[in-house]
Structure 1
Amino acid sequence: MSKKTLSNKNNLQVIYEDNHIIVVNKRAGDIVQGDRTGDKPLSEVVKSYLKEKYKKEGNVYLGVVHRLDRPTTGIVMFAKTSKALPRLNKLFAEKTAKKTYWALVKNAPPQLEDTLVNWLKKNPKNNKSTAYSKEVNGSKKAILHYKLKQTLDNFYLLEIDLETGRHHQIRTQLATIGCPIKGDLKYGFDRSNKDASISLHARTLSFVHPVKKEDIFITAPLPNDPLWKACNTN
């Protein structure tokens, strides 16, 4: 039986859990997996949560299914069993798991809805991607669909569906149409958010459960921020 809980211990917000899967609402600043910063990753926080909740002895199994950029918030899924991990990986590889993102941007997009196609090339030295209108050496094709969801005071709420999963894809492609994401200094916004976040949120995830074969739809609550609170959540 699935469980939907909100757990604030260790600042961990669990939004879906069953025997095979756990989904959390990532905070800005959390890293999904360990990196050279040495900061405790979200995967270890989730392991600690599972160890304590189920009074497990020894190591706790947890498989990382996908990632989010450190300043981004929203849905992150983990596999609780070795049986579920390859099946979940297959859902994402075959694009049968559907994820939508919400972004608060500075300028009105040129169209109410559109498909953006670029070729992105990552520069590992500054951890930044550059978008090109045609293929260049070392670039990868990037496709996303956006639509204007709401007009706010001085900002615009966009809903984004990805066809591809490239490095900083949403951030890079929206910047190319003059719509840098709020707080994203790296891609052209003029000032940072107070909490060092960028206003990009992995909002929903839908998929067929790889073990139970049920349709699952998950929504991640928006960050506790006045501008996000002004958004229509329907």
Structure 2
Amino acid sequence: MDIKIIFEDKDILVVEKPPKVPCQSDKTSDDDIMSILNRPYLGLVHRLDRPVGGVMVYAKNEKTNSFLSKEVSARRLYKEYLVVVCGKPKNNEGELRDYLKKLRTINMSKVVDKGANGAKEAILEYEVLESKDTEEYGTLTLLKVILKTGRHHQIRVQLSNAGFPIWGDNKYNKTFVKKKEWTQISLWSYKIGFNHPTNKTNSTFISLPYDEYPWDVFDIKNN
């Protein structure tokens, strides 16, 4: 399997993760990004859910890994996603703040009260880019989502809880939970930005979703 390399130097490796490929080895023993890339050293700076595709950055040495990990902890790693949701938010832009608890036994998360055991704050911002009416799924909306925290299944849980679940999400969108066949979730890591570990300049990289349904319903390149 070929992995598209967006950028590489002595410190970082920026790639386009294909959907359904794990970003690191897991219990399935399926091919994963780190094994396929086969570099002498690769540090996992951030994660993408297995079904999700898009831009990712890896560290190529321990110093870079430490630097970028601190950037993540300080919330200085900028992460922007494109999402197709069912329905349309009442407001064209907004912020969602919830507390999430990870349900490890079923690999899901849920919105809970602030004081609940294991609750962690989750914050994201969204902006409506375009809406389209479809025969089969009603109104579909293309959103830009800026992730402020990095919780388990955060975007999926928060958008579902807000009333506009992601198209194709077999875990959090009731329409697709009922479907017997598997569907590709319409969540894509579109843009990542961070300070370069060596020259400290801001580096930004993007990746566009595949030209397939429901992405092709929208004029993504001009949004």
- Aligned with 2:106: secondary structure? coil
Over residues 84-140 of structure 1, what are the superposed CA-to-partner deviations in whole Å (9 max), with x where a residue is unaligned? 111111111111121111110011012211111111111111111111354312211
Distance 1:22 1:33 in 2: 14
- Larger proportion of strand: 2
Q: 1:95 aligns with which of 56, 66, 75?
A: 75
Cα distance in structure 2, aligned partners of 1:152 and 1:135: 39
**2:36 alignment partner AA:** V
1:145 alignment partner, SS class: strand
Give the TM-score normalised by structure 1: 0.85
Report the Cα distance in structure 1 between the residues aligned to 2:120 and 2:43, rounded to whole angstroms: 27
- Secondary structure class of the residue paired with 1:175: helix
Q: Contact 1:183/1:193 (CA < 8 Å) preserved in 2?
A: no
Distance apart, 1:163 and its partner CA:
1.7
**Higher deviation after alignment, 192-201 or 18-27:** 192-201
Asked if the contact 2:98/2:122 (under 8 Å) is kept, the reply is yes
Supply the distance in 1 between the matched residues of 2:148 and 2:67 (Cα, whole angstroms): 20
Q: Could you report, residue by residue, the CA deviation over 1:35-91 in whole angstroms, capped at 9, with x for unpaired residues?
A: 1111121111111xx5xxxxxxxxx11111111001111111111122211111111
Residue 16 of structure 1 and its aligned partner are, at CA, apart by: 1.5
Unaligned runs of 5+ in 1: 1-9, 51-59
1:212 aligns with 2:192: no
Percent of paired sites with the same residue:
36
2:34 corresponds to 1:43: yes
Kept in 2, the 8 Å contact 1:103–1:159? The answer is: yes
Deviation, structure 1 residue 197: 2.3
After TM superposition, list the pairs within 5 Å mapping 1:20-39 onto structure 2: 20-39=11-30
Amino acid at match of 1:211: T
How far, CA to CA, are the matches of 1:185 and 1:144 in structure 2?
21
TM-score, normalised to structure 2, is: 0.89
CA distance in 1, matches of 2:121, 2:168: 26
Please identify, of 189-198 and 212-221, the stretch whose mean Cα deviation from structure 2 is larger. Answer: 189-198
Compared with structure 1, are the counterparts of its residues 83 and 39 closer, same or farther at alpha carbon in structure 2 (3 Å cutoff)? same
How many angstroms apart in 2 are the aligned matches of 1:82 and 1:133? 38
In structure 2, list runs of 5 or more residues that go unmatched. 134-138
Out of 131, 147, 150, the position equivalent to 1:165 is 150
Contact 2:79 2:147 in 1 (8 A): yes
Aligned partner (choices 16, 36, 54) of residue 74 of structure 1: 54
Instruction: Name the amino acid aligned to 2:84.
Output: L
Question: Which of 213, 225, 231 does residue 219 from structure 2 map onto?
Answer: 231
Asked whether the 8 Å contact 2:53–2:188 carries over to 1, the reply is: yes
Note closer, same or farther for the CA distance 1:231–1:133 as it changes in structure 2 (3 Å cut): farther
Separation in 2, partners of 1:194, 1:172: 21
Deviation at 1:205, TM superposition (A): 0.9
Secondary structure of 2:184's partner? coil
1:189–1:105 distance in 2 versus 1, CA, 3 Å: farther
The residue correspondences of 1:33-182 to structure 2 (distance < 5 A) are 33-47=24-38, 50=39, 60-153=40-133, 154-182=139-167
**C-alpha contact 2:186 2:214 (8 A) present in aligned 1:** no
Q: Is the 8 A contact 1:71 1:196 kept in 2?
A: no
Give the root-mean-square deviation of aligned CA atoms: 1.8
Distance in 2, Cα, partners of 1:122 & 1:24: 28
Matched to 2:190, the amino acid is: R
Q: Distance in 2 between matches of 1:196 and 1:73?
A: 14
